[in-house]
Amino acid sequence: MAGTGIFTDILDGDVYKYYSDGEWKTSSSGKSVAIINPATRKTQYKVQACTQEEVNKVMEMAKSAQKSWAKTPLWKRAELLHKAAAILKDNKAPIAESLVKEIAKPAKDSVTEVVRSGDLISYCAEEGVRILGEGKFLLSDSFPGNERTKYCLTSKIPLGVVLAIPPFNYPVNLAVSKIAPALIAGNSLVLKPPTQGAVSCLHMVHCFHLAGFPKGLISCITGKGSEIGDFLTMHPAVNCISFTGGDTGISISKKAGMIPLQMELGGKDACIVLEDADLDLVASNIIKGGFSYSGQRCTAVKVVLVMESVANELVEKVKAKVAKLTVGPPEENCDITAVVSESSANFIEGLVMDAKDKGATFCQEYKRQGNLIWPLLLDNVKPDMRIAWEEPFGPVLPVLRINSVEEGINHCNASNFGLQGCVFTKDINKAMLISDAMETGTVQINSAPARGPDHFPFQGLKDSGIGSQGVTNSISLMTKVKTTVINLPTPSYSMG
Ligand code: G3H
């Protein structure tokens, strides 16, 4: 159970502690932040409302711990990461339980998130020892006008303090996708979890604590964004920010100093369906892509752009599958569970009502109970409807009928987002042309958008983000290139 067994240290009465200087602490604010269970709409957990002074302290320690961590051999850093991954996987049950309670993720998917996170940490440790153990060796005589008098050695060095801000929908997985690359590369790490998802994050951090990382190297600060949000992101000690979430990321980018940023800020992933597509394959991918975790994924299929000639058949197939989706509590592994908050449910409802007023065809009756919204497919959506452009982050999927491939590509490219997209066709040549024409970070051919496997590069264009993720790219982004040049008094050529 969450907060029990090896996790008792992280709880103070009914309030979870924050993690600083290798210890679990209670904030001097004497205040807490409530975490509302999306399904019951009652307070499920409480976390510390940390102060700006506590942030200062954490940053100070992160700076000093990083100096010795950078001198820790790579294999030792990797060893500790493997240890943390094993502890995390061994304790998947209580962590998954808190995911169920604070973000209403179906129980099975919650376990998957924890296991996937352990695998990501281990992969990152492996990849880190390989790519950080190598550098480049350059010779000066390859550039015109030079003799071989200079040997240039390049290696990758850490940035310093990395600030990680994951979103509510993958609080554990998208936290470790920032923590593990930062640590293997020799950085220290300050984690600011989302309010909903904070308790899962605190449990995950305790696994790193138990693995034996040095004091101050990892910290986890909880609290109100209004009090510590800007203070953290604009803190002078921070050398890199890795953020996943909504358009808050745009304002963070504008305020952040001259530091590397890794931002993933959502998408409006289009699914383009051509006449020759395998419609059964498309329908199952629309269900998986549009409705898993109730559509609360940045990579969810968020608009279907289908050729008019096959639209009726596809809509019928999707409707039949929507009818089979189960709706209810995450504990019972229902496919569709409550969305994360009441304001989110209200926002989704606003999009649905706008589509209704403007004449969209409702393939199911719109139904909502509290934060629980039944899956809804909206056909005949037109570009003047908000849902054609905005991301509901809920189980509501619009279908726009198109008369040409160009119309589909134009709709996709007119979006301010550019995360992923997908195209369904049996013609690989057409698929490649469409993929090249789509202004998105990734295009999936004959499958729904998805970030994983976690070592694949993952990036968005336009308002969808800055920088690329995926294990290798994250490690690279969290390092700098350092060169040392050996200057010889006379040219020297190895003769063989
Ligand atoms: O919500 C954003 C995530 O990066 C999506 O990850 O494709 O594994 O669901 P996923």
Q: What is the chain's pLDDT, residue by residue, as a tens digit (496 residues)? A: 999 999 999 999 999 999 999 999 999 999 999 999 999 999 999 999 999 999 999 999 999 999 999 999 999 999 999 999 999 999 999 999 999 999 999 999 999 999 999 999 999 999 999 999 999 999 999 999 999 999 999 999 999 999 999 999 999 999 999 999 999 999 999 999 999 999 999 999 999 999 999 999 999 999 999 999 999 999 999 999 999 999 999 999 999 999 999 999 999 999 999 999 999 999 999 999 999 999 999 999 999 999 999 999 999 999 999 999 999 999 999 999 999 999 999 999 999 999 999 999 999 999 999 999 999 999 999 999 999 999 999 999 999 999 999 999 999 999 999 999 999 999 999 999 999 999 999 999 999 999 999 999 999 999 999 999 999 999 999 999 999 999 999 999 988 7
Selection from 159, 101, 153, 158 nearest residue 486 by Cα: 153
Please check whether residue 458 is in contact with residue 472, taking contact to mean a CB–CB distance below 8 angstroms. Answer: no
Ligand 1 atom closest to residue 292's alpha carbon, by position in its atom list: 9
Dist CA 69 CA 61 (whole Å): 12
* Phi/psi-derived region of residue 376, left when phi > 0, alpha when psi is between -120 and 50, beta in every other case: beta
Ligand 1 atom closest to residue 297's alpha carbon, by position in its atom list: 1
Dist CA 152 CA 136 (whole Å): 8
Cα separations (Å) of 426 from 284, 287, 360, 444? 16, 20, 30, 13
Element (H, E) at 397: strand 396-402
Ligand 1 atom closest to residue 454's alpha carbon, by position in its atom list: 8
The first and second tokens of residue 3, run together, are: 């907060």
Please check whether residue 284 is in contact with residue 325, taking contact to mean a CB–CB distance below 8 angstroms. Answer: no
Query: Parallel, antiparallel, or unpaired for β 420-424 and 442-445?
Result: parallel
pLDDT of residue 496: 77
- Measure 90 CA to ligand 1 centroid, in angstroms: 23
264 an active-site residue? Answer: yes
Closest CA to ligand 1's atom 2: 298
The first and second tokens of residue 349, run together, are: 């409802």
Ligand 1 atom closest to residue 450's alpha carbon, by position in its atom list: 7
Dist CA 109 CA 435 (whole Å): 30
- Residues within 6 Å of ligand 1 by CB: 169-170, 297-299, 450-452
Dist CA 56 CA 237 (whole Å): 9
One-letter amino acid at 288 equals K
- Dihedral sign for Cα 50, 56, 58, 62, please: positive
- Measure 275 CA to ligand 1 centroid, in angstroms: 28
| Active-site residue (options: 113, 264, 390, 391) | 264
Q: How would you class 136 by CB atoms within 10 Å of its CB: exposed for 0-12, middle for 13-18, buried for 19 or more?
A: exposed
Please check whether residue 425 is in contact with residue 435, taking contact to mean a CB–CB distance below 8 angstroms. Answer: no
Closest CA to ligand 1's atom 8: 451
DSSP code for 288: H
- Measure 412 CA to ligand 1 centroid, in angstroms: 19
DSSP code for 73: -
Which residues have a Cβ under 8 Å from the Cβ of 241 and sit 6 or more positions away? 162, 163, 165, 233, 252, 256, 259, 260, 261, 262, 263
Strands (E), 215-371: 218-220, 240-244, 261-264, 269-273, 301-307, 361-362, 368-369
pLDDT of residue 495: 85
Torsion of CA 165, 32, 102, 57, to 10 degrees: 30
Mutation test residue for ligand 1: of 116, 243, 297, 464, the one with most atoms within 8 Å of CB: 297
- Give 193-211 as a DSSP string: --STTHHHHHHHHHHHHHH
